[in-house]
Chains A and B, each alone.
Chain A
Amino acid sequence: MNLSIHRPAVIAGGIVLIFLTAWESTVHLLKFPVYLLPAPSRVFRTLFDHPLLYLEASAYTLGEALAGLLLGVLAGTILAALLTLFPGIEDGVMTLAILIKSTPLVAIAPLLTLWLGFGVLPKILITALLTFFPVLVNVLSGFQRIDRPLMDLFHSYHASRWEIFRYLRIPLALPYLFAALKISTPLALIGAVVAEWSGASNGLGHMMWLAYSNLNLPFMFAATFILAAAGMLLYQLVLWTEQRVIFWQTLSSED
């Protein structure tokens, strides 16, 4: 394998390894009690002792996070498209969007749980609410970006508003969509977990909450490790997709 391509991964892995080693030795040297700070080795052992338990909880939480993300991205993109095609409504809708955005999640989450129960629906909705705003703001500025030479060309064709939107604004907004996804993807995991804290029957957030109530810190950290790893993998997936979708940004002429 080519080392230069994987260099960032090697460096990141190295730093994580150093961090875990420092953590491990500090715990052993200072003899931290396990209910305050378990050693990483202990956390991993907990993880591998209950693989099915964690697998199920992870599937549950990741499912909520991805469904919520999808909903948030769709809602944000569609709303941004509507605001671009019908600019008259922008001010009103944006005020409303900021109002929703500024309402604290911790206030909405218990309410939604109260209304919709302990199932996945309130989690998906909360995640969607959390991820929707970065998508709306970014994609909207992508749609509204003016590329003067291309606009002139399309106007010289007497292209309709819809044709300009379809052939010009959508591709021009794609880099902005991916910028938004880089913010919203990690947020989706946070959304799902926080939503589970306010009442759930399964999931990593639910496990963390139970473990915390029982001061079972290895159990709690194990869930945290999974979340961190999942967040990193999802982020890499976004980067990988971005490079393939917006392929023209890395093309260049030879002279």
Chain B
Amino acid sequence: MKVEISDLSHTFPGKPPRPALQNLTFEVASGQFIAVIGPSGCGKTTLLRLIANLLTPSAGKITIAGLSPAQVNQAQRLAWMAQNPALLPWLNTLDNINLARRLVQPNGNPGLTAQAALERVGLAAYARAYPPTLSGGMQQRAALARILTLNAGLWLMDEPFAALDEITRENLAVELLGIWQPLKPTVLWVTHNIYEALRLADRVIALSSAPAQIIFDESIDLQRPRVESQPAFQQILARLRSALGAGSSPHWGQL
């Protein structure tokens, strides 16, 4: 699903009002994996929530495959995944996924069955386990399996692996690419991890601190899996670093 953002601004009401996004304009081609990166509190989550119809923008327009976010939401064609795996603790893994399948009935074209999705993410043995008994990484795997059953054309992912340890995080990112490639949904991946963005995405967009504006927008035409030591990777990394260094607060250097 193609995503078009034009002149998008959002300000949270209050005293004083907090501007989060200012005149953002960009397009995401259908089937692209886009990483949106920016410092904490820069408005990247707000951007994702606006696209997900969890918020209504103050100004500007979002079009997803020719439809408004509300229409896409109503048609149940978007999938949402955040840092919190949002599994219901009173349902086992399988029932969690089946509940999503019951609530979302994509127009006659169901995705994987719950069991198949669990096998796909390597959780088949934990179908009957309750979420609180699973590790953080396994919980995110279950959340990923849940998305796989929904057959959504747009995956909105708000730092889904940010709370995991570095090793689990890297493994999951590699597996995610393997899952994404044959399906090719459009992915908007919000992160504050530069390496993750460059390893995963077809294109990286960096935002300045709030109110967010685009300070970097580049396609990453490198073969996957990407190796950080590659000169081309290092060049893009340097350009992204300098853009972020110029466009935001000093603590940015530690990334």
Contact = CB atoms under 8 A, between A and B. Distances in A.
Contact of B74 (A148, A158, A247, A251): A158
Interface stretch (B24-32, B126-134, B183-191, B224-232): B126-134
B86 A153 contact: yes
Q: Across chains A and B, which 5 residue pairs bring their CB atoms closest together, nearest first?
A: A156-B80, A149-B84, A251-B132, A248-B89, A149-B86
Given A171-B90, A248-B130, A253-B133, A149 B104 contact: no
Contacts of A251: 89, 130, 132-133
A253 B135 contact: yes
B238 interface: no
Interface residues of B, number: 27
A115 interface: no
B50 interface: no
A155 interface: yes
Interface in A142-190: 148-150, 152-159, 163, 167-168, 171
A116 B146 CA distance: 57
A255 interface: yes
Given A156-B54, A167-B99, A252 B78 contact: no
Contacts, number: 61
Contacts of B134: 253
Contacts of B53: 155
Contact of A156 (B78, B88, B130): B78
Contacts of B90: 171, 247-248
Given A149-B82, A251-B132, A254-B133, A159 B89 contact: no
B193 interface: no
A153 B80 contact: yes
Interface of B: 49, 52-54, 73-74, 76, 78-80, 82, 84-86, 88-90, 99-100, 103-104, 130, 132-135, 156
A156 B73 contact: yes
A167 B82 CA distance: 20
A111 B100 CA distance: 53
30 contacts: A148-B84, A149-B85, A150-B86, A152-B49, A152-B54, A152-B80, A152-B82, A153-B80, A153-B86, A154-B103, A155-B52, A155-B54, A156-B54, A156-B78, A156-B79, A156-B156, A157-B76, A157-B100, A157-B104, A158-B74, A159-B103, A167-B103, A171-B88, A171-B90, A249-B89, A252-B132, A252-B133, A253-B132, A253-B133, A253-B134
A118 to B, nearest CB: 45
Contacts of B104: 157-158
A155 B54 CA distance: 7
Contacts of A157: 76, 100, 103-104
Nearest to B80: A156
Q: Taking each of A150, A167, A249, A253, which has the highest tally of chain B beta carbons within 10 Å of its own beta carbon?
A: A253
Contacts of A171: 88, 90
Contacts of A158: 73-74, 76, 104
A64 B61 CA distance: 63
Given A248-B90, A253-B132, A255-B135, A156 B52 contact: yes
